[in-house]
């Protein structure tokens, strides 16, 4: 049986990665700067399934190719304090450093350093416990990171620390400021740490405020849908690693209907390959599969989004889905619901935070995707 080259829901393999040239260049420049002693940091912001984790994975391979130690952490609610955050980072550096120093046959000094380096909350000391002065964890942590840098430099040109699902940091009070202070001071002391955060757009309010000190430090990048060419690349690259063929017409249909949402492209590719006739995908296969693919999208994405909305928020979703224009103003929706704008504005904000709506400039919104609009239209409320 031919292997299906599409993998909806999994981060894309770096060799199948499509588009995002600007983001890749940006990372290359920042990494170079970090390796030259001037650390730069980044934050990736974007809605669900837009490709944040895949971009991190791509950057990770680039950093590793430059012989940098790269730690990619997935944050979750169990990381609930600055102490546990530091613990995860330091443990990650230890794990990656040990692997890395063997992989690149680095000097005995670096290998010994990682063999001996131990991190436990206990070792980092009672100073990391809650209840002590806020300043002390940062001093302790600075010594710790400095110690690591002294142990591995110059064999290792930089340490890249990536934190995915970083919206969890918003629940750890002061953690973003803490990271900023810690890594600013480390940079002043000549330590080559690069910090990268990635998380859901709406939840990352503090970084989103452009010109805020945090935004200046983290240099946020907002990921958008893939462009026309990038969509075709996202379809053709996986196909080129397989024995499936697809007509140009079908590629265009997917590029169009997906609106460049990478997860939706993967889902179409996956189910079309599953249902290909003699490994060939043409318009007949496409249209025969279309209803099944919509069902899958509903159960894997849309049901979840819809059920996250409260009854009042659902009224707004239906009103937007029923309006003739894709992009509507709060005022228009308010009128169609017989309400005042100020009574319902907060519902729009919440729906954006839940990834159901997209904001297009002040007071104008659309559903997050055209297929989500079809889904809502078909749903009775």
Ligand X SMILES: Nc1ncnc2c1ncn2[C@@H]1O[C@H](COP(=O)(O)OP(=O)(O)OP(=O)(O)O)[C@@H](O)[C@H]1O
The item of ligand X, Mg ion, none sharing an interface with residue 149, based on CB under 5 to 8 Å by kind, is none
3-class DSSP state of 166 = helix
CB of residue 17 to Mg ion, shortest distance in Å:
14
CB of 31 to Mg ion, least distance (A): 21
Q: Which is nearer to ligand X, 56 or 158 (CB)?
A: 56
What residues numbered 319-378 form the site for Mg ion, per CB under 5 A?
Answer: none
Token code pair at residue 291: 């209803």
* Shortest Å, Cβ 255 to ligand X: 12
* Footprint (CB under 5 A) of Mg ion, residues 13-52: 52
Residue ranges binding ligand X (CB under 6 A)? 7-12, 17-20, 46, 48-54, 234, 262-263, 266
Q: Which does 51 bind (CB under 5 to 8 A by kind): ligand X, Mg ion, none?
A: ligand X
Q: In this structure, what token pair is assigned to residue 329?
A: 């103003």
The listed partner (ligand X, Mg ion, none) that binds 258, CB under 5 to 8 Å by sort, is: none
DSSP 47: -
Closest separation in Å from C-beta 204 to Mg ion: 13
Closest Cα to residue 351, out of 303, 305, 301?
305
Q: Which one, 7 or 98, has the nearer CB to ligand X?
A: 7
Torsion of CA 212, 214, 215, 216, to 10 degrees: 90
128 neighbors 137 (Cβ within 8 angstroms): yes
Question: Is 70 an interacting residue with respect to Mg ion (CB under 5 A)?
Answer: no
Find the Cα–Cα–Cα–Cα dihedral 150, 142, 163, 198, rounded to 10°.
Answer: -110
Binding-site partner at residue 11 among Mg ion, ligand X, none, CB < 5 to 8 Å by type? ligand X
For residue 120, count CB atoms less than 10 angstroms from its CB and return exposed for 0-12, middle for 13-18, buried for 19 or more. exposed
**262 binds, options Mg ion, ligand X, none, Cβ within 5 to 8 A by partner type:** ligand X
> Residue 178 touches which of ligand X, Mg ion, none (CB < 5 to 8 A by kind)?
none
Closest approach, Cβ 113 to ligand X, in A, equals 33
Among 5, 6, 12, 53, binds Mg ion (CB under 5 A): 53
C-beta closer to ligand X: residue 20 or 350 = 20
- Beta carbon nearer to Mg ion, 53 or 258: 53
Nearest distance from residue 52's CB to Mg ion, in Å?
5
Residue 368 interaction partner, one of ligand X, Mg ion, none, beta carbon < 5-8 Å per kind? none
Minimum distance of ligand X from residue 134's CB (angstroms): 31
* Least distance between ligand X and beta carbon 89 (Å): 20
End-to-end CA distance of the chain: 43
Helix axes 248-258, 262-274, angle to 10 degrees: 140
Residues 6+ apart with CB under 8 A from 372: 302, 305, 356
| The total number of residues written for the chain in this structure | 381
Beta carbons of 53 and 7 less than 8 angstroms apart: no
Task: Name the E strands within the chain.
Answer: 42-46, 69-74, 159-164, 193-200, 220-222, 245-246, 280-281, 328-329, 357-359, 364-367
Cα separation of 284 and 288, whole Å? Answer: 6
Query: Out of Mg ion, ligand X, none, which partner does residue 101 contact, by CB within 5 to 8 A per kind?
Result: none
**Residue closest to ligand X, measured at CB:** 51
> Closer CB to ligand X, residue 141 or residue 235?
235
**Minimum separation from the CB atom of position 46 to ligand X (A):** 5
Q: Which does 18 bind (CB under 5 to 8 A by kind): Mg ion, ligand X, none?
A: ligand X
Q: Which residue lies nearer to ligand X by CB, 187 or 267?
A: 267
94 DSSP 8-state letter? H
Q: Which is nearer to ligand X, 94 or 251 (CB)?
A: 251
Q: Give CA 89 to chain center in angstroms.
A: 18
Q: What dihedral do alpha carbons 142, 61, 57, 209 form, nearest 10°?
A: 50
Residue 182: HSE in the Cβ half-sphere, 13 Å Cα cutoff: 26
- CB-wise, 59 or 217, nearer to ligand X? 59
| Interface with Mg ion (CB under 5 A) | 52-53
């Amino acid at each position: 049986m031919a292997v299906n080259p599409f993998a909806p829901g999994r981060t894309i393999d770096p060799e199948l990665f499509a588009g995002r040239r600007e983001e890749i260049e940006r990372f290359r420049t920042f990494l170079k700067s970090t390796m030259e002693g001037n650390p730069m940091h980044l934050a990736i912001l974007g809605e669900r399934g837009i490709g944040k984790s895949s971009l991190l994975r791509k950057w990770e391979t680039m950093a590793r190719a430059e012989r940098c130690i790269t730690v990619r952490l997935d944050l979750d609610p169990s990381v609930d304090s600055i102490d546990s955050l530091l613990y995860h980072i330091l443990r990650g550096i230890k794990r990656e450093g040990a692997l890395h120093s063997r992989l690149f046959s680095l000097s005995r000094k670096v290998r010994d350093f990682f063999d001996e380096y131990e991190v436990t909350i206990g070792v980092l000391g009672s100073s990391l416990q809650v209840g002590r002065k806020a300043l002390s964890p940062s001093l302790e942590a600075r010594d710790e990171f400095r110690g690591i840098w002294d142990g591995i430099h110059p064999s290792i040109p930089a340490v890249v620390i990536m934190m995915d699902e970083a919206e969890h940091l918003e629940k750890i009070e002061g953690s973003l400021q803490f990271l900023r202070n810690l890594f600013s001071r480390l940079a002043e002391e000549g330590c080559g740490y690069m910090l990268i955060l990635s998380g859901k757009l709406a939840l990352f309010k503090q970084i989103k405020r452009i010109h805020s000190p945090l935004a200046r430090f983290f240099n946020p990048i907002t990921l958008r849908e893939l462009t026309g060419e990038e969509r075709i690349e996202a379809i053709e690259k996986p196909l080129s690693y397989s024995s499936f063929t697809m007509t140009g017409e079908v590629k265009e249909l997917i590029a169009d209907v997906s609106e460049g949402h990478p997860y939706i492209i993967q889902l179409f590719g996956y189910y079309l390959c599953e249902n290909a006739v003699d490994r060939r995908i043409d318009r007949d296969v496409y249209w025969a599969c279309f209803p099944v693919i919509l069902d899958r999208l509903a159960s894997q994405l849309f049901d979840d989004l819809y059920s996250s909305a409260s009854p009042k928020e659902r009224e707004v979703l239906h009103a937007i889905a029923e309006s003739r224009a894709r992009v509507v103003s709060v005022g228009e929706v308010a009128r169609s619901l017989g309400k005042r704008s100020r009574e319902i504005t907060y519902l729009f904000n919440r729906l954006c935070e839940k990834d159901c709506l997209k904001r297009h400039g002040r007071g104008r919104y659309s559903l997050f995707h055209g297929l989500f609009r079809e889904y809502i239209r078909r749903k009775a409320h």
